[in-house]
A and B are shown apart, each in its own frame.
Chain A
């Protein structure tokens, strides 16, 4: 082996690096600030005919099941809006990139969206650890970060993150509302917690503890999504004598808990977070077992009686004008996906975005859309109003309690609202949900 070639290699490396990078730089398909630039370009991503927004979503990987339906559903609503004139004549173009629920990848795709594609805003970025990786970047580059798809209350921080807004009911509030219901209806009973060992489950438990007396809680079992064997946790819950199990779990683990209870011949009352209680998803997960579990043929039999909460109208409520609207949009633009809670979520948050853009005016800028949301958004498909203001970027305030009956959630009682503080009460909401606009556009 010649030794002189050793010197060539590092230099060759440098040359090749440069060549590769320059080639990559030149070869990249256009983008940058290419499209448009005529009179109506008031901000990056806005042209006379188009609003370009981006998002990071887990389209593959461990979080994909279920969550991957949300972005196509939002896009379906945007297509509906585009077909009906758009927002001041501009069509919404929604680019959502896969981050596989990996925060390092989230940083990469968000950089791509902001720096290369020049999106106007990041919309509905999904996941708490993933979005935490990019929230500082988005705020320092003054990119609107609208309606994060996560129930963490960390997005409600106007001082540190002025461009970031939450949307859905946060997990602490949800815990409080569920907790208040349990305190009222299951007084004296033994309560067991089953929760995901991350911010979703831990915040939920925080909320529950603000309402349920500590003496009632006999067992707290956590799980991690990477370990599907939750038999030991179920056995521990049963051994503690829990009569009511509150579960802050994703649908797969709600189903696994139900299966484990079957194996233990144990039948407590289940109270499950909205995240893990979508009846259609659960029935799908349990259907193969319903036949063997001694129940009747549909998976719905195994979900009967599960208590949960909801911040959007229930899909089972045929008379609700929002469900009718979203069903129509789904059937036209997203028919391949099952009409379940994730699709409803996606369309509802898409509606909120259109509301914000309309309010931002004919020539929106990044700053003007932020101001628009801070000025308050009228209540839309959510059952409780939004509390957006200059000092509150949280989003929804409340939810109703429901019970799963025959594969659909049936509302029980009124809508409840609360805050995230330990002493704030859970109060009944006396207003009513406005009807969906006839045109389907805000």
Chain B
């Protein structure tokens, strides 16, 4: 029973990181109909930037803020510089461009920072928490991870729901032509969307890097699972991203604990196919009548 509790709580912690990546993928998909395969690599780069700041100033929170800001900037720069030319092209071009970006960012990180594993600090203590005398298998930092993603998701929701910028984002995503006719600068809004996605991705990188160590390809497997979570939840649904991430994180933790580490990817596939067989567009998809 204790083991089950430990697996569940540990799964929530990782699951929230997958949810964060999924959320940023959903943001970009809704806005530009592009799958950003470089999302994990962008998060890796901003985390390296955070590490540099932390090493120089000694303050975790300064590095945290700088990384989030870097995520914003990186997302915006990439959208304007590299993605804008391919937005109106066959969609697979954007796929190859983002893949090229993934490779490029990992190469750059390798050149500047080298390939060795770096230790990344946590905001809070790593000592295990207890419920009475029972060790819960998670630490204060894990609670922070889950909380930070939730806060970010809520902040994003509030942004979309209650602010003019959010309204413009939603309009541009829903019907760009109509939005343009109503005076929305669609191009700028898309850049904002990518910037926000970059921010959430940067957050994910900061939260998970203590557990994975930081090296150029450290975010690769996190990205794969975040992508899977986004697909499970439905690429159009931010709620789906969170739910998908949680389900995946907890499920894979059970698999890793009860069945063995080696079976985790296989069960990820099974979970994904299980969902897609019944809901081909994800759990929270809004189905359109497509067949005649």
Contact = CB atoms under 8 A, between A and B. Distances in A.
A232 B256 contact: yes
B117 A252 contact: yes
A229 B3 contact: no
B261 A231 contact: no
A264 interface: yes
A117 to B, nearest CB: 24
A287 interface: yes
B211 A65 contact: no
A68 interface: yes
A252 B213 contact: yes
Interface stretch (A136-144, A292-300, A410-418): A292-300
Contacts of B253: 229, 231-232
Contacts of A299: 119
Contact of A65 (B121, B215, B264): B215
A65 B116 CA distance: 4
Contacts of A62: 217
Contact of B256 (A61, A68, A233, A284): A233
A288 interface: yes
Given A62-B217, A229-B256, A236-B3, A286 B126 contact: no
Nearest to A64: B115
Contact of A264 (B128, B215, B257): B128
Contacts of B257: 231-233, 235-236
Contacts of A66: 116-117
A234 to B, nearest CB: 8
A215 interface: no
Contacts of B48: none
Contacts of A9: none
A226 B117 contact: no
Given A61-B217, A231-B137, A293 B120 contact: no
Contacts of A223: 261
A239 B5 CA distance: 13
Nearest to B262: A224
Interface string A114-137: 000000000000000000000000
Interface in B191-227: 210-213, 215-217, 221
Given A232-B253, A232-B257, A262 B117 contact: no
B127 A265 contact: yes
A228 B211 contact: yes
Contacts of B215: 64-65
Contacts of A197: 261-262
A224 B119 contact: no
Contacts of A65: 115-117, 215
A84 interface: no
A362 interface: no
B121 A289 contact: yes
B139 interface: yes
Contact of B119 (A59, A68, A285): A285
A293 B126 contact: yes
B125 A292 contact: yes
Contacts of B216: 60
A98 to B, nearest CB: 11
Interface in B242-271: 252-253, 256-258, 260-262, 264-265
A259 interface: yes
Interface in A210-259: 222-224, 226-233, 235-236, 239, 251-252, 255-256, 259
B116 A239 contact: no
B110 interface: yes
A293 B261 CA distance: 26
Contacts of A263: 126-128, 135, 137-139, 142
A296 to B, nearest CB: 15
Interface stretch (B6-14, B160-168, B177-185, B282-290): B6-14
Contacts of A251: 117
Given A65-B115, A228-B211, A232-B10, A288 B121 contact: yes
A289 B117 contact: no
B115 A285 contact: no
A229 B117 CA distance: 16
A224 B261 CA distance: 6
B130 interface: yes
B174 interface: no
Interface string B106-121: 0000100001111111
B91 to A, nearest CB: 24
Interface in A266-301: 266, 284-289, 291-294, 299
Interface of A: 59-62, 64-66, 68, 197, 222-224, 226-233, 235-236, 239, 251-252, 255-256, 259, 262-266, 284-289, 291-294, 299
24 contacts: A60-B110, A61-B217, A62-B217, A64-B116, A65-B115, A68-B116, A223-B261, A229-B256, A231-B6, A231-B253, A233-B256, A233-B261, A235-B10, A236-B3, A236-B257, A239-B2, A262-B127, A264-B128, A284-B116, A284-B118, A286-B119, A292-B121, A292-B125, A292-B126
User: What are the 10 tightest A-B residue pairs by CB atom distance, in nearest-first order?
Assistant: A232-B257, A288-B121, A288-B119, A64-B115, A65-B116, A265-B128, A232-B256, A263-B128, A231-B10, A65-B117
Given A227-B264, A228-B211, 12 more contacts: A59-B115, A65-B115, A229-B264, A231-B253, A236-B257, A252-B213, A262-B126, A263-B142, A264-B128, A289-B119, A292-B121, A293-B125
